[in-house]
Structures are given as structure tokens and as C-alpha cells.
Amino acid sequence: MEVVKKAKDLKKMFALISALSSPGIGLVLILFGIVALIVLFVFLPFMIFTDADSYKPQAAGEYAWMAPAQLDVDGTAYVWPVPTISRVSSPFALRDLFGTTRMHKGIDIANGAANTELQPVYAMAEGTVTLAGAASGYGQAIIINHGNGLVTTYGHLSAQMHVSVGDRVSKGQLIGQIGQGIVGRSTGSHLHFQVELNGAAVDPLNYVFAPGSELPSLPSELGYQPLNIDYVLQFLNKRKSALADRSLLQMIDDAGRTKNVSPYLLIAITGQEQSFVPRNNNHASEIIRNPWNVFGCWCKGKGARLTTGESAQIAANTIIKLSQDLPAGRDPIQWLSAKDNPRGYYAEHNGWWIGVSKYFKLLLRGGG
């Protein structure tokens, strides 16, 4: 009997294999696989990213280091290294150096010997000093590693320095002075300022603004419009949002006005980033201080120590940075998270801008 049972089982197995190998069943399995892939890669991300508790998107600060940017990872400006001199005496370009045509890998900052010698030099950004002393070609130099592949060099300095190797420096910290006369291979007193990204020299003027320069403006549709606080309160209350607070909305409006960024756009981003911070979220009182996830998250590090007004200003600065180089015909909100944006992107998920645009239009329609 056992032999007969096993034979019957084998017969059933072969029958099943034969059925599955038929063209009709095979086509059904292929279609089922395609549907599963669509659910996995199209619908599932949207379901995940609308959960305010589980969605912890990476903000622009997480990616801003990836390409030249005129704003630091926190959305604030980098520091021009010599505030007393705005003149660039030699650009980042091919030039004749001591009889040989070669690439000048930085910019020279100078304004005549009398106005250049011993002028104070400051760190462009926070980082760790990896060299402070003699350097081939520069005489005396300071090199700072800012992390994420970003390194700055300050050459032709005075031997009297304010930092040593291993020191952790803050953005705008005094690090040294421009040397007197010819220091290293130079024709006169100046600062050679060099920026490298992932080992390659890049134009420092993609990072720093000379004194008197201004940050570029936003596309007009993203610029400041006064916030209709009464309407927005109603809008947020319908969504049971912890942001439905007049004082918080006033902070957001103040940040938008200061930075010339639409406060409606700032609020729309909180909708996509944190579902407008539902009141029943266990962490609502913390998230409302940083619903834009600046510094990567509301929940840790610098991001957890901000006020709503401070995080709104950083988010606004980030929007300004990412809005630059907008190609003709591109949607300005899509550009904020486009992977081909040379200045980084606000969020990694491709559908981020769709949600932001939807909320932005809804808010403008009722409050504009």
C-alpha cells in the first residue's frame, strides 16, 4: 500500500509540474510577477513614506556635500576666507605659472601688498586641521578636512598660525594670516585658496561669496508671499496637525519673509516630510521643532536642538541653494529633489516633489 501511495503522490507531482509548464499558466505567473514588482517598487514606497512615525527622510544636508554648493550642509553660507579683501587677483583657470601653462587649482586673493600682508584668514567651514606648517610650493599652509570629501587649502601664509594639526575648527574661526612678501612659489603677498571635492580641485567660487556679493534669488513662484495664518490654521486643524498653532505659523512666516521663501512652500514640505505632524504622534512636541528634518532628522544631533523658527530658516536656505541652476522648462519643486541637480537634493525618494507640489497648490489656493 505504501508503494501505491508513493506512486500516486509522484503522479500528482508530475501532473502539477506539467500544468505549471503549460503556456497559459506560465503567462499567468509572469503577469503575477510583473504586478508584484509594480507593487514593490511603485506603490509600496508611497505607503511607507506617508507613515509619519516610520518615515525618516534624509534632508538636503545629508546630500549637499555631493556637489559644489554655495551653502553649507546646514543651509547657511560658507565663509569667505579673507573678509577684508574681496578682490580675486587670479582665478581658477589655466594660466602661465613660472613659464609653464598649467591649471591654477584655486583662487588668489590679494589687493596690493600694503592691503594684503598679515590680513587675517578664516576657516571656510567646520573641520579638522590636517596640515599647519611648511608645504611644498606654498611656503606655509593650512589644510582643513571638512568631511564627506571636502577639503580646503590656505597657502602662502605667515608662519605664525592659530591652529595646529589635529585641531577641530569651527566655521569662521581665525586660523592664520597672509604671509609678507614672497612666501613659497609666489610673486607677492596673497592667499592661495583651494577647494577639493573627493580629491579633485574645484572652483572655490562655487562655494564662497566675496564680501558684498549676495545669495541668488529664488524662482518667483517660490518667493515670499505673506501667510494667511487664519486659513492655514483651519487647513491644519482639519488634518489634526500639531503645527496648527498661531505662534508656530508666525515663526514660519517670519523665516519665509527673512529669506524670501514662500511660507506656504515650507508648510507644504512638512506635509510630505512629516504628514503635517499629527497631534496623536507620540513625538509631536519634538517633531514640530524640526518638521523639515534639517540636519537629516528631527530626532538626534543638531536637528533635535533647534526651535521651529531656526529649522524653518535652515530649510529656507536649503531651498535657496537647491533652486539655483534651474533649467528652462523644469518644475522648480521637482528640481529641489532632482538627482541631476548639481547642488544636491532635498529628499532621495523620487515622489517627494509630487507630494510637496500637491500640498503647495492646496495651500496657495485657499490662502493666497
Residue type, 287: I
| Closest residue by Cα to residue 255 from 269, 241, 242, 237 | 269
For the chain, strand residue ranges (E) read: 88-90, 93-97, 100-104, 107-109, 120-122, 127-135, 139-147, 150-155, 168-169, 174-177, 191-197, 200-202
> What's the CA gap between 285 and 174, in Å, rounded?
38
Residues 241 and 278: beta-carbon distance below 8 Å: yes
Provide the pLDDT confidence category of residue 27 given band limits of 50, 70 and 90: low
Cell 534669488 found at: 217
pLDDT in tens, 284-308: 999 999 999 887 777 877 777 888 9
Q: How far is CA 313 from CA 27, 127, 223, in A?
A: 55, 23, 14
| Closest residue by Cα to residue 162 from 174, 144, 179 | 174
Q: Lowest-pLDDT range, 91-105, 126-140, 153-167, 213-227? A: 91-105
Q: State how far Cα 175 lies from the chain centre.
A: 26
Q: Lowest-pLDDT range, 112-126, 149-163, 178-192, 329-343? A: 178-192
pLDDT in tens, 184-202: 566 789 999 999 988 988 8
**Does residue 168 carry a pLDDT above 80?**
yes
> What's the CA gap between 83 and 278, in Å, rounded?
45
The C-alpha torsion from 340 through 363 and 42 to 274, rounded to 10°, is 90
| Closest residue by Cα to residue 267 from 308, 323, 305 | 308
Mean pLDDT of 169-191: 86
Task: Return the sign of the alpha-carbon dihedral for residues 90, 199, 129, 204.
Answer: positive
Q: What is the pLDDT of residue 240?
A: 96
| Closest residue by Cα to residue 235 from 250, 245, 222, 223 | 245
- Exposure string of 234-244, with b = 16+ CB inside 10 Å and e = fewer, is ebbeeeebbbb
Cell 574661526 found at: 173
| Structural domains of the chain in order of their starting residue, each with its CATH number | 2-45 (no CATH), 50-73+215-367 (no CATH), 88-206 (2.70.70.10)
**Does residue 56 carry a pLDDT above 50?**
no
Across the strands, what pairs with 201?
196
Q: State how far Cα 18 lies from the chain centre.
A: 56
**Angle ∠(134,138,139) on CA atoms, nearest 5:** 45
